[in-house]
A and B are shown apart, each in its own frame.
Chain A
């Protein structure tokens, strides 16, 4: 585990926002992530994919922020997908009994395909 300063960026693929949180996801950075996703939702996007490829560590506060993102999006009638989660992160969700509340995909490709299928 090497932890770099937190950063969040995103890109758009058609009507899907893909968000990249990098580094350590905790209380401070969780806030950024919530804002970034909120920004997309405000712009009318209903599908968000969070790619965790470069997320080193997610602490329990980070998790509560992810739950907030999900709740906000669901209220707006949107869908949230997680991709490229490390085993330890997946296990963390499992241990907390939270797996069933999220959609997990191995990579962006799979997430995009699934979201596309949903539309139809």
Chain B
């Protein structure tokens, strides 16, 4: 599997990430780098990046052995896992030494058959490591077996004089490692601590959803000596080049202007683009127009590969139809509501019992489904909602999703970083003014949005206890709404902690402060505060009603 990456020429826009990870072994040995926690939304290209790293390191000849392991395909019963992990490691090591790529994925090669291969590769010392592993197996020492497997790369690095680059994909699935049934052996992930400490075998670890991966790494023993690397969406122009190159291979053409709605909808996610290109191929058209893309999109959302992808993500955690329905209603509420709800309120308006709601919310938050920036996922939810809750026909759903397609065409996104210095918030306010003008927003409304933004920036400055004195802003405007995210390092806070005290109480206090968030909440339709990596992110959303846009 690891050697099935895209040809280098088709792999786009990740030169910096790739070259950093390629050199990780050197830098880790010189204490210039730590283990890497590779973060990124679903489908953004985490696995692909690991495959690219694998290939480069495999052929580079710097005496660094690449080892790739995915927990997704792994047998998650721990005894099976131990043997699988161990065998795959040996195979990939031998493949590297013998420069025999086929060996990497040779499923038929059992541990016993591997022994002569190791020997012929001059790796006799490895037989000791195998013996030690087998001893645990024979004596039925499950824990010893797992530990021996996990520490095999470190042991081999010490014995063999070659460093090992350990790449662990879909690491979130490691939470499901178990002895007899799911959940009976929590914390197995922490067994990686020893091996991760070893500077001869740096680890790159990734998986989805980010929230769960971060959860695992909140364990201090894993956290130390680990740095985060965020894989960002492809920029718009790269997204189009990527899509265009996929189409060209199938002798299909598509003008940038026709595709812009799609490009903006997928938000730089190569998985979506790839699936859309495949869907386009099935239409047998030679030249694609926007309406063809809309058709493909509907197909993808309703019953294509994108739908399949998200359905399987949901079904990983959701086992009953009832829970699915609760989840859909919750998601739909989040997507359309104007203003934040607390749990009690939600339970009332949705008519869902507290316990059930709590369970659904946990799934949403734990799997990073609740907070996202992904119109495609939203459309998937919408379609499913229409089917499961509203009982609409496929034709009807198709039509509605089709209508929505392309509303992203007129969206624009700006990013900016401002220092935490006096009056820097005014620079941000000026930016939002121009963005508002670009979409003909009414001046009054703009003034309010500016004020809310200024308040949020001031708040970020006051709350930051960090040495990194910067605020990261992201503006996204569509004809329907303007969304601003404000991220700052430093102490976190939650909306609930900002208790609204009555006006009289504030007036009686000495400093008479504390108006900022009241204002922000009055002005915006939705205000969210969340922790993203080591930053606090405040998201402000203002819906644009018809009369507010000047014609």
Contact = CB atoms under 8 A, between A and B. Distances in A.
A64 B512 CA distance: 5
A76 B454 CA distance: 33
Interface string A54-70: 00010111011001100
B349 interface: no
Interface in B488-543: 503, 507, 511-513, 515-516, 518-519, 522-523
Interface string A33-64: 00000000000000000000000010111011
Interface string A86-112: 111001100111100100000000000
Given A61-B513, A64-B511, A97-B503, A1 B430 contact: yes
Contact of A1 (B429, B455, B503, B511): B429
Contacts, number: 63
A3 B426 contact: yes
Given A60-B458, A67-B507, A92 B451 contact: yes
B519 to A, nearest CB: 6
A24 interface: yes
Interface residues of B, number: 26
B515 A88 contact: no
B283 interface: no
Contacts of A28: 422
B448 interface: yes
Interface string B224-252: 00000000000000000000000000000
Interface string B413-429: 00000000011011001
Contact of A92 (B425, B444, B458, B519): B519
B516 A60 contact: yes
A26 interface: yes
A88 B447 CA distance: 7
B433 interface: yes
A27 to B, nearest CB: 8
B447 to A, nearest CB: 4
A86 B522 CA distance: 18
B444 A57 contact: no
A28 B387 CA distance: 56
Interface string B449-477: 01100110010000000000000000000
Contacts of B454: 57, 59
Nearest to B455: A60
Nearest to B427: A3
Interface of A: 1, 3, 24, 26, 28, 57, 59-61, 63-64, 67-68, 71, 86-88, 91-92, 95-98, 101
